[in-house]
Amino acid sequence: MSGAHDYLRGALFSPTAGVTKRPWTGILAAIDQVTSAQSPESEELLHQVLTDYKGKLQLDDDAGHCHAMPPEDLLRLIAVQTLAGWDLKGHRNAISLHANPARRDILGTIARRVLRG
């Protein structure tokens, strides 16, 4: 279990998630490490990002922002692309959760695209 996995879990699923402000760059750095190499732990965590995470991040203003989409959706977007690259078949159902045709956003568009193969 790496520090990056712990950091990301803490930011998304801990009791302080959604309360404690964190730097966006820190969260990005964590998910960058989590996605840097395929492992069961990384797959499970990214899968959870798609299936279980319903929260809202609290971010430090100074550390940059997401512009085109909410930061939560950018994390999901990274998870969608990473899991599709690692094992599309194994994560198809989780990706499908974000591929509803009624979604007119970047995450929905990319999720539908990766499912089309």
Partner 1 sequence: MPSPSATPAAAPSAVSLASVAFAYAGNHDAIRLRDPATDQLIATPEWVAKGASNPAAYVRGTRPSVQATFSGKPGSTIHLTVGARSKPGPGLTLTDATLTFDATGHSGPVNLQMETALPGAISSLQLHWDWYSIVGGQETSLGSSAHEILVTLAPLTDPVEWAAHPAPVDPPDQAGMRWTYLPLIRWTTKWATGLQDSKAICDAIIAQVGTTGLKYGIGAWTVRNMLNAGGGFCGGWYRLFQALAGTQGVEVERRSYLVDWPAGAPTTVKWCAIVVQNPGLNRTEPIEGSATYHDADQAPLSKCAVAELTTHRYRFWGLPGKIADGHCINFLKNGDGWILYDSSFFNHGIALTGFTLPSGDDPKTVDLKSQGNLLTAYFQNAVGFMLGSLENSGHSYVTEHPAPGGTVAYTRNGLTVKTQVVFDSGDTIRFYWST
Query: According to CB under 8 A, which residues from 30 to 89 bind partner 1?
Result: 30, 32-33, 59-70, 73-74, 77-78, 81-82
Length of the chain: 117
Least distance (Å) between residue 40 CB and partner 1: 20
Q: Is 90 in the site for partner 1 (CB under 8 A)?
A: no
Q: Is 115 in the site for partner 1 (CB under 8 A)?
A: no
CB 34 within 8 A of CB 8: yes
Q: Pick from 13, 18, 29, 92 the residue near partner 1 by CB under 8 A.
A: 29
Residue with tokens 């979604």: 103
Neighbours of 74 (CB within 10 A): 20
Residues found near partner 1 in the complex (CB under 8 A): 2-4, 7, 23, 25-26, 28-30, 32-33, 59-70, 73-74, 77-78, 81-82, 100, 102-106, 108-110, 112-113
